[in-house]
A and B are shown apart, each in its own frame.
Chain A
Amino acid sequence: DTEVTQTPKHLVMGMTNKKSLKCEQHMGHRAMYWYKQKAKKPPELMFVYSYEKLSINESVPSRFSPECPNSSLLNLHLHALQPEDSALYLCASSQFSGGALTDTQYFGPGTRLTVL
């Protein structure tokens, strides 16, 4: 089973709203990732968690707040977003063999976010 699930599939929010994106995997992976993807562009890494600890933060604005409650779950809390934050948000997970981030990443279907 190589499934990563994400909810919701679609989200529309105003600039003053607070919402959360959720990601779940049951493959025993110990690294989880958030990416932002604009249309016809490659994914841009936002955050990496390894063993439930934030290991990479790619200078993402504080209106995005990640959380990893346990090894299977990853959340992305959203607050006071801007229209330019509208994008597809992808979650991924991978093994963390030997402390490296070179293992195959498995992606979820994404959450399409629209900020009005």
Chain B
Amino acid sequence: AQTVTQSQPEMSVQEAETVTLSCTYDTSENNYYLFWYKQPPSRQMILVIRQEAYKQQNATENRFSVNFQKAAKSFSLKISDSQLGDTAMYFCALGEAGTALIFGKGTTLSVSS
């Protein structure tokens, strides 16, 4: 069965620092997709980054980048130059063809000045 594990329920960081959120997953499929979603206190879920499993190159979106280790089934999110607006709950998710998106339990990130 597919699972997604986020082992850090809460994290905190100061502005301008770098923080890494961890995510591990389990799947028997070879083709799948991985996502990081952000849900700020306003509660709208926003896509942060997406990674196709068949791509070896790690995805990046401005200050956000991932470290995708397919063999280890690890998909961590690095946020550089943290900003107050990065304060949110972050969900890692696994997508496979024909099945629902599997979400991790989330990591609450607090950025302070």
Contacts and interface: CB of A to CB of B under 8 A. Distances in A.
B interface majority secondary structure: loop
B99, B100, B105: residue with the most chain A Cβ atoms closer than 10 Å: B100
B45 A43 contact: yes
What range describes how many residues of B lie at the interface?
20 to 34
B95 A101 contact: yes
Contacts, number: 54
Given A40-B89, A40-B106, A102-B95, A88 B43 contact: yes
23 contacts: A40-B89, A40-B106, A43-B45, A43-B103, A45-B101, A48-B100, A100-B98, A101-B98, A101-B100, A101-B101, A102-B32, A102-B33, A102-B95, A102-B96, A102-B97, A103-B95, A104-B47, A105-B47, A107-B44, A108-B44, A109-B43, A109-B44, A110-B44
Interface of A: 40-43, 45, 48, 56, 58, 88, 90, 92, 98-110
